[in-house]
Amino acid sequence: MLIVTTLLLLKCALHWLLFKSFFLKATVLKKFKVKAVLIDLDGTLIHTAPEIARAINSMLASLNKPAIDEKQIAAYIGEGAQVLIRRCLTGKFNVEPDAAEFAKAQKSFFEYYAQNVTESKPYPQVLESLLALKSAGFRLACVTNKPGKFTLPLLEASNLLQYFECVVSGDTLARKKPEPDQIFYICEKLGLTVDEVVLIGDSKTDVAAARNAGCYIFTVPYGYNQGLEIALNDVDAKISHIREALDLLH
């Protein structure tokens, strides 16, 4: 009896392992048919938090306010410069600062950030990943909530600008991520439909923009998402690095 029971258990275990192997293989082999890859800037292509934090703390010092830890400032990144400044002034995510103080702070931040914006560096293997995607025939676009006067100098200084057919900044249009307008704009410029593009980002803002637009969304685990992990069922794929997108696209 013991032998029969053991054999049945082994048989069940074998069936489970075969099913698990098939399931994992099917997951790995899932492909997304797209013609263009849209990529977020801050926290996805380039590690910008150190330079942003320095500019923010210089801004706060000019207003006689205490400095903020870089990790906290990184948690505030992702929804554009104005939102970042508001959060750093109030220490809250959804509180409006005094209008006069905000105006002074924004002017100060822009002045300080202009001095160091080009010092930020791409994450490891980003250049090689963009080259690989481009060589595989995918058209590339950069979509960011960063103001244009900072976006283009940063991409150029990082030697990334050459890979992008289209760059859309936070002030290119009236609305930015999480609204879908920037994605629609890129699709129009490239002559593509939303189901022919995938967005790669690092935050819930990117996920919301992609879902609002109706395009695919991949996320990377590093970057700035207010210290929160993005749930697997909220995205089409979670990749450890931009280059991994190649394994999921055709």
Residue of 40, 42, 202, 206 with catalytic role: 40
Q: Return the closest-CA partner of residue 217 out of 32, 19, 18.
A: 32
Q: Are 226 and 243 in contact (CB under 8 A)?
A: no
Tell me the sheet residues that pair with 167. 142
Q: Hey, what amino acid is at 163? A: Y
Q: Tell me whether residue 69 is one of the annotated catalytic residues.
A: no
Query: What does R_g of the chain's alpha carbons equal in angstroms?
Result: 22
Q: Residue 202 and residue 44: Cα distance in Å, rounded?
A: 6
Token representation of residue 67: 């400095």
Token representation of residue 239: 């990749």
Going by their DSSP bridges, the two strands 166-168 and 46-47 should be labelled as: unpaired
Q: Return the closest-CA partner of residue 245 out of 101, 136, 88.
A: 136
Tell me the sheet residues that pair with 217. 199
| Residues with a known catalytic role | 40
